Amino acid sequence: MTKFTDLNLNPKVLKAIEEAGYETPTPIQAGAIPPALEGRDVLGIAQTGTGKTASFTLPMITLLARGRARARMPRSLVLCPTRELAAQVAENFDTYTKHLKLTKALLIGGVSFKEQEQIIDKGVDVLIATPGRLLDHFERGKLILSDVKVMVVDEADRMLDMGFIPDIERIFGLTPFTRQTLFFSATMAPEIERITNTFLSGPARIEVARQATASETIEQRVIMFKGSRRDREASEKRKLLRMLIDAEGEKCKNAIIFCNRKSEVDTLAKSLKKYGYDAAPIHGDLDQSQRTRTLEGFREGTLRFLVASDVAARGLDIPDVSHVINFDVPSHAEDYVHRIGRTGRAGRDGTAIMICTPRDDKNFDAVEALLQKEIPRGENLITPAQGAEEPAREAEPAAEADAPRKSSRSRTRSRGKKPDTAASPEAEPAEQKPAEAKAAEQKPAEKAPEKKPQSSRRRQDRDNRSGVVGMGDHLPSFIALSFDERRT
């Protein structure tokens, strides 16, 4: 069996590995480190959780052990799709360089440009960055990439999903043609294949697992769920999630709960906290300091449930996650593999549960087609008869709503005259009548559906002045006569 001592690494690096408690490399590490130390380009294909980070950090540190960085000119570059993954790679470098005098800089969003520029100005051996922030510094004239000797692209398929491929191609063009490239991905989409053919020169290809496969140590199951009504489906689905967590009991020590949308992440986290579950959200729209605190709390065990978007699906090394729950079926089948790869790491057992609604059937079929097997069906713990978390409000009856309004406005105004008995007892109040008179003036036909002889109308108006709609019982007769003449 291969050991790290057999891989020709720097003795100080081997000492740091031993202090970290590692002795035997994973298959991707054993396959990628030797050609990387020889200066060859490397194309590594392995599922998440197989130790890809050490596959490039260990040979990079060994290659950079000699030499010194110059201001604004890093000697190596590591590109990561998310801030969390970049921060994790930086932690790995801190672990393995503890006996070497190598410097690093972390360029990610949500952090002050000024602080990052101060570090770059001193000169760094290793630059770890997300593509967007790296290009921001370059366009500001604060970064020169002409001295990069080793370039790493980590989680390339995630870069593709997030739309970073144009940025990656631009960054490749800014680095020297003679650089060494270490390229790692969990899957090989056609676009990824094109990039590797363009920018890698005769790479050593290391593929340690079939593309997009899940670890055998993960117990998978899916709950087929349908809400009682469409407007209650979301609340019933949240209730089902709580019932699943309660059913797992003590086995569910902690869990990452994945949602497809950031808004759903916030809603679900609030719902869980409302019902007494220790949960917090994490997604790309949150402040970086808040994301860091949330991740640290989950790693340290002070937070039990991490409700996450796919920002937490790739590369994050949280070694002891007991459960992964897909609250939503992922839109891309490959994301399912990456999500459930957060559990069952390093040979541990894990549990992956997914909730599938009828509208998710197409995406669910794609997941099973990718896995090339059927996911076992679990028991649906909730039935439509059990009701929803937030029952729909019934509309207030219209008659009851209108009743007070009718009783409060029944008086008619009079100037010392007794109202005519022929007048309607339900005549509208004087306050509303001017507007109605205006409408009657514009559309007189609607106010007189039955045509009467002109003389009859005039006689009725003289006898019953309140019969002129909208003008009140104090209306002078000559005004009524003028209306009648206009009608004719």
Strand, helix or coil for residue 379 = coil
pLDDT of 470 > 90? The answer is no
| pLDDT confidence of residue 326 | 96
- 204 or 407: which carries more pLDDT confidence? 204
**% pLDDT > 90, the chain:** 50
Dihedral of the alpha carbons of 258, 264, 269, 270, in degrees to the nearest 10:
-170
pLDDT of residue 160: 85
* Predicted pLDDT of residue 477: 66
Give the model's pLDDT for residue 421: 43
Tell me the whole-structure pTM to 2 decimals. Answer: 0.63
Contact present, 4 and 51 (Cβ < 8 Å)? no
Q: Sign (positive/negative) of CA torsion 423, 427, 431, 433?
A: negative
Domains in the chain, start-ordered, CATH in brackets?
A: 4-207 (3.40.50.300), 218-386 (3.40.50.300), 426-488 (no CATH)
Nearest CA-CA partner of 78 in 127, 117, 33, 119: 127
Quote the pLDDT of residue 100: 92
Calculate mean pLDDT across residues 290-318.
84
Helix or strand run (H / E) with residue 305:
strand 305-308
Residue type, 363: N
Nearest to 46 by CA among 57, 62, 32: 32
d(CA 30, CA 402): 79
Q: 216 in helix, strand or coil? A: coil
Q: Which of 143-147, 149-153, 206-210, 396-400 has the lowest mean pLDDT?
A: 396-400
pLDDT at 401: 39
Please tell me the distance from the alpha carbon of residue 336 to that of residue 368, in angstroms, as a whole number: 10
Query: What local confidence, expressed as pLDDT, does residue 68 receive?
Result: 81
- The total number of residues shown for the chain amounts to 488
Judge contact between 272 and 242, C-beta under 8 A. Answer: yes
Q: Which residues are registered as beta bridge partners of 180?
A: 150
Name the percent of the chain lying above pLDDT 70: 75
List phi, psi (to 5°) of 413. Answer: -95, 145
pLDDT the model gives residue 321: 92
Whether 392 has a pLDDT exceeding 50, the answer reads no
Q: Is 60 exceeded by the pLDDT of residue 228? A: yes
Helix (H), strand (E) at residue 63: helix 52-64
Is the separation of the CB atoms in 53 and 154 below 8 Å?
yes
Q: In this predicted structure, what is the pLDDT of residue 323?
A: 95
Phi, psi of 269, deg, nearest 5:
-60, -40
416: which 2 tokens? 């010392």
Which one-letter amino acid corresponds to residue 111? V
Q: Which residue type is seen at 52?
A: K
pLDDT of 331 > 70? The answer is: yes
Tens of pLDDT, residue by residue over 74-108, are: 999 999 998 888 988 999 999 999 999 899 999 99
What pLDDT is attached to residue 400?
39
> Which 3 state secondary structure label does DSSP give 119?
helix
Tell me the two tokens of residue 238: 């949240």
pLDDT value of residue 95: 93
Using DSSP's 3-state secondary structure scheme, residue 263 falls into: helix
CA distance 371 to 187: 13
159-217 pLDDT, tens digit per residue, is 887 889 999 999 999 999 999 999 998 878 888 999 999 999 999 999 886 555 677 78
- H or E element in which residue 118 lies: helix 113-122
**What is the reported pLDDT for 310?**
81
For every residue of 229-258, DSSP letters joined together read SGGGHHHHHHHHHHHHHHHHGGG-S-EEEE
Task: Assess contact for 29 and 58: CB atoms under 8 A.
Answer: yes
Q: Is the pLDDT of residue 317 over 90?
A: no
Residue 264: HSE in the Cβ half-sphere, 13 Å Cα cutoff: 16
Q: Alpha-carbon distance 148 to 195, whole Å?
A: 19
Q: Is the pLDDT of residue 396 over 50?
A: no
- The string of pLDDT tens digits covering residues 238-271 is 999 999 999 999 999 999 999 999 899 999 999 9
Please report, for residues 128, 135, 151, 291, the alpha-carbon distance to residue 144 in angstroms, rounded to integers and kept in the order given: 14, 11, 14, 30
Q: Give yes or no for residue 381 having a pLDDT over 50.
A: yes
Enter the tokens of residue 283: 């997604």
